[in-house]
């Protein structure tokens, strides 16, 4: 299957922008998109805390193709990117990185992979230098609404109004609206719906025996393709 993974971000590279670039790439390379997922964890969350993302990794099949806009969709940390690549490449999964217009697969030369990781490290170092009042530029502070994020996204997908969502959760409508706007959750939902409409939904193939990697080994086998 050809699977798109979008990353919820607060900067100019929001899900709508990522969606447009991935669709252009897919059209140029004649790639039929089968399904899409949106990764909603914080850009700075460590892999051990990204349970939905690890469930997504477990749901991938041998020789699937994963389309992402840039490496930070998977992780902004170089060491953790290595762990993700281990999980994907041990199952012969191909990663399409749209921003660099390149593929990562089992045939990739080590030097190319090292160059990509080196560039990501340079980006991280540059962001560190742009710290503002002790906080990296573009980094969001934690919110009491973070615990409700999956539920809010689900309700928005069902076209539930902000007022109704606030009543369901028992929270302030004004505060919830500010949270939804600051996290770009409405854009996130619109992008997911629009991208799904570009592809014909097909049933997932039967599960196969997959090689495990250190990142997802000994984890419970959760359902496939969570709507993150």
Tens-digit pLDDT profile for residues 91-148 = 999 999 999 898 998 888 776 777 777 777 777 677 666 655 455 444 556 788 888 8
The structure tokens listed for 83 are 């762990």
**Rounded Cα–Cα distance for residues 35 and 65 (Å):** 11
Query: Where along the chain do its domains lie?
Result: 2-138+187-197, 146-186
Tens-digit pLDDT profile for residues 16-31 = 889 899 999 999 999 9
Residue 176 near residue 166 (C-beta atoms within 8 A): yes
Given a cut of 70, whether residue 71 has pLDDT beyond it is yes
Given a cut of 60, whether residue 190 has pLDDT beyond it is yes
Query: What pLDDT, on the 0 to 100 scale, is given for residue 98?
Result: 94
**Rounded Cα–Cα distance for residues 129 and 118 (Å):** 17
Kindly tell me the sign of the dihedral angle through the C-alpha atoms of 172, 173, 178, 179.
Answer: positive
Rounded to 5°, the CA angle 118-124-128 comes to: 145
118: closest CA among 78, 85, 82, 89?
Answer: 78
CATH fit for domain 2-138+187-197, picks 3.40.50.720, 3.40.50.1390, 3.90.76.10, 3.40.47.10:
3.40.50.1390
74: closest CA among 58, 95, 92?
Answer: 95
């Amino acid at each position: 299957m050809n699977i798109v993974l979008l990353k919820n971000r607060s900067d100019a590279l929001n899900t709508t922008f990522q969606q447009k670039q991935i669709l252009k790439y897919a059209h140029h390379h004649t790639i039929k998109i089968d399904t899409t997922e949106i990764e909603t964890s914080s850009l700075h969350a460590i892999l051990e805390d990204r349970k939905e993302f690890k469930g997504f990794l477990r749901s991938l099949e041998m020789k699937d193709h994963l389309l992402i806009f840039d490496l930070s969709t998977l992780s902004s940390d170089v060491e953790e990117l290595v762990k993700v690549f281990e999980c994907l490449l041990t199952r012969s999964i191909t990663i399409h990185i749209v921003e660099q217009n390149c593929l990562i697969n089992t045939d990739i030369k080590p030097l190319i992979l090292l160059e990509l990781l080196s560039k990501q490290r340079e980006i991280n170092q540059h962001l560190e230098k742009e710290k503002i009042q002790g906080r990296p530029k573009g980094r969001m502070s934690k919110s009491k609404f973070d615990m409700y994020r999956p539920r809010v996204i689900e309700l928005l997908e069902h076209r539930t109004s902000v007022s109704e969502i606030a009543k369901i959760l028992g929270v302030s409508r004004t505060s919830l609206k500010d949270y939804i706007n600051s996290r770009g959750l409405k854009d996130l939902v619109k992008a997911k719906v629009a991208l799904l409409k570009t592809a014909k939904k097909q049933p997932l193939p039967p599960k196969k025996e997959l090689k495990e990697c250190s990142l997802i080994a000994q984890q419970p086998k959760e359902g496939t393709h969570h709507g993150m």
